[in-house]
Structure 1
């Protein structure tokens, strides 16, 4: 009697693991759904938290590619809220951006593959707004100007590496 009970528990555990594994979605280089053998990125079933989902996408090698909170879990229909962070394949941060109700809102930073700040600016309801700066790898400003309603406005300055 004990042996048969044990077999049932093992079988139920195996069945649950099989169902979970089937919820992984694979993406090709263009983030289109594909099969595992053609995939470059994947997303396990997002974890349900409060009124949404914590989404983590991975490179094929298991390195985290992106993580953030979304009120929806369907790929391609994410509605992010809060900080979303993207990573280079080497594990260093590539892009940090804040979202409000699915739109970019607040500071956005982009980083070089080696970790240095590359670009920084603000969004307001999905549009670039305010002062934006682009940096050389050495941290010096390469370009600086303003955006108004998602368009470059006023004078933009370009600085050359050897002029400091």
Structure 2
């Protein structure tokens, strides 16, 4: 499972530092390559002093704010505190906590309607865990329900299927613990089932058939659009 590609990662590690003697505005295209003013999509004025730090900002061609952060350096991207990115409509689309150019803390991203897209915790620029959201209608999502995927050190650990409210009706699959938890429309737990421990050394087709199948406990089936309980089945332990 790849690390979520937050904007701050691109800003820190793939774009150059500020010119040492920048006195004029620098213009960029959509790929953040320097261009003429006529061809620009973004522009960056020189960093401005703010106490013992410097205010760094980028703007859209329209003059709307794209990025803002404080830096401990005028020429290097040693952002310090909370860095923020904005959509052209003014909506916050990402925030990140940094310490002297190192990501230490939460990074959150949102779509242009303000819905959370991803959140993660970083320590010394390394992603410890993350939660990534796909909503109904998203190219990567399902047409029937919303999905949240949790990763720990880039390994997928939990999948949550929900409908609008991640604390409401939902089904949570815990891959490491081999468990499924199901909730009703009020967010109350109504079923817990254990998943099968398939033999990874067996036949590939058998393994795919057996892996992550409920074998014991209370199994809840759902209908979608809207998400609702279809049926509840109580299983006794069995082997495939």
TM-score with structure 1 length normalisation? Answer: 0.72
- Per-residue deviation, residues 3-53 of structure 1 (Å, max 9, x unmatched): xxxxxxxxxxxxxxxxxxx61111111112222111111112221123321
* Max Rg structure: 2
Tell me, yes or no, if the aligned pair for 2:57 and 2:65 is still in contact at 8 Å: yes
Deviation at 1:145, TM superposition (A): 2.0
| Number of residues of Structure 1 aligned to a counterpart in Structure 2 | 136
Runs of 4+ in 1 over 6 A off after TM superposition: none
Give the C-alpha shift of residue 146 in structure 1. Answer: 3.2
Corresponding residue number in structure 1 for 2:133: 135
Distance 2:34 2:74 in 1: 14
Q: Find the counterpart in structure 2 of residue 146 from structure 1.
A: 151
* Map 1:1-164 → 2, pairs under 5 A: 23-74=24-75, 77-130=76-129, 132-136=130-134, 142-148=147-153, 151-152=154-155, 155-159=157-161, 161=163, 162=224, 163=227
Q: How many Å apart are 1:85 and its aligned residue?
A: 0.3
Partner Cα distance (1:63, 1:69) in 2 = 18
Question: Following the alignment from structure 1 to structure 2, what is the Cα–Cα distance between the partners of residues 97 and 90?
Answer: 20
Q: 2 CA distance for matches of 1:81 and 1:61?
A: 27
Determine the C-alpha separation between the residues in 1 that align with 2:119 and 2:29. Answer: 29
| Contact 1:109/1:117 (8 A) holds in 2 | yes
- Contact conserved, 1:63 with 1:91, CA < 8 A, in 2? yes
- SS for the counterpart of 1:89 is coil
Where is the helix percentage greater, Structure 1 or Structure 2?
1
Cα distance, 1:125 vs structure 2: 0.7
CA deviations on 1:67-98 (whole Å, 9 max, x unpaired) are 00112334xx4121110000112110111011
Consecutive unaligned residues in structure 2, runs of 5 or more: 1-22, 137-144, 164-223, 229-240
Task: Provide the C-alpha distance between the structure 1 equivalents of 2:34 and 2:60, rounded to a whole number of angstroms.
Answer: 14
User: What TM-score do you get using the length of structure 2 for normalisation?
Assistant: 0.51
CA–CA distance in structure 2, aligned partners of residues 72 and 38 of structure 1: 29
**5+ residue gaps, structure 1:** 1-21
